[in-house]
Each structure stands twice: as C-alpha cells, then as structure tokens.
C-alpha cells in the first residue's frame, strides 16, 4: 500500500486531489490515514460509507445471486459470492458486525519530505 500511495503522490501536482475508497478489516483501515499523511497527503474529508454500501448490497442481492448462478461455474461460486458481498458471506457479515469497514477519503497533495515519515500537522480527519 505504501508504494501505491507514493506513486499517487509522485504523479499529482502540488495541491492536486485524490479520492480513494476501499474496504478493509477495521484494524487495518485504522492505520491508513497515517500512511497517507506521512506520504504527503492532507486528508480533506473522510467518511465511513458502510451503511450506504450495505443498502446498495441489499438492493441488488437477489439479482447478484441469480446472475452468479447463471454465469459462474459451481466450483467458484462461493468465492465470487464473497467478492460480490452477497448476504451471508464473510464480507457482507463483516460489514454488519463491524469487523470490516468501507471508507472514502478525499485528499490533497501537500509539500512534505516523504522520507521524514511526517505528514501535515494541520491534517484533520472529519468522520461523518
């Protein structure tokens, strides 16, 4: 993840923005803001979007199950269902029980010595 963040920093101009969203286990996700800040990003806005993701997953659950049954070989259906966040799978249940989380961060590239391991002192995370 660190190499990815450094490459994003490399290609953006100073003041450029980067929007990142991802799902991870809650413990790993809690470490990521510092990774971004220490590599030259100020977190302008941050939101936990699990509720929105769960609503979307619920809305399309039956259609996904149908399409997976029609198009995916039986031998890999469970893996695809988990990847797709079908109800009852580890990903879906992780969102429900809080062991998995889904975040969105809007960041701005700032001037920082990436090798210093220090981000912007003024970067503040707003969680909605």
- pLDDT at residue 113, rounded to an integer: 59
CATH code: domain of residue 13? 3.40.50.150
pLDDT at 116 over 50: no
Q: Which residues have C-beta within 8 Å of that of residue 94, sequence separation ≥ 6?
A: 25, 100
pLDDT (mean) for 66-95: 97
- CB neighbourhood size of 39 (10 A): 23
* pLDDT of the residue at 1: 87
Residue 111 clears pLDDT 80, i.e. is over it: no
Is residue 60 in some structural domain?
yes
**102 occurs within a structural domain:** yes
Question: Is the pTM higher than 0.85?
Answer: no
Q: The domain containing residue 74 runs over which residues?
A: 2-116
* Tens digits of residue pLDDT in 3-56: 999 999 999 999 999 999 999 999 999 999 999 999 999 999 999 999 999 999
Domains in the chain, number: 1
């Amino acid at each position: 993840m660190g190499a990815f963040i450094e490459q994003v920093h490399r290609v953006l101009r100073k003041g450029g923005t980067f929007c990142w969203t991802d799902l991870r286990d809650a413990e790993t996700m809690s470490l990521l803001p510092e990774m971004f800040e220490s590599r030259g990003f100020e977190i302008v806005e941050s939101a936990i979007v699990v509720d929105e993701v769960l609503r979307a997953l619920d809305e399309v659950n039956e259609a996904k199950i149908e399409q997976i049954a029609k198009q995916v070989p039986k031998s890999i259906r469970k893996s695809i269902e988990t990847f797709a966040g079908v109800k009852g799978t580890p990903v879906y249940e992780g969102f429900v029980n809080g062991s998995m989380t889904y975040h969105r961060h809007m960041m701005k590239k700032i001037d920082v010595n990436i090798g210093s391991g220090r981000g912007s002192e003024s970067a503040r995370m707003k969680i909605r």
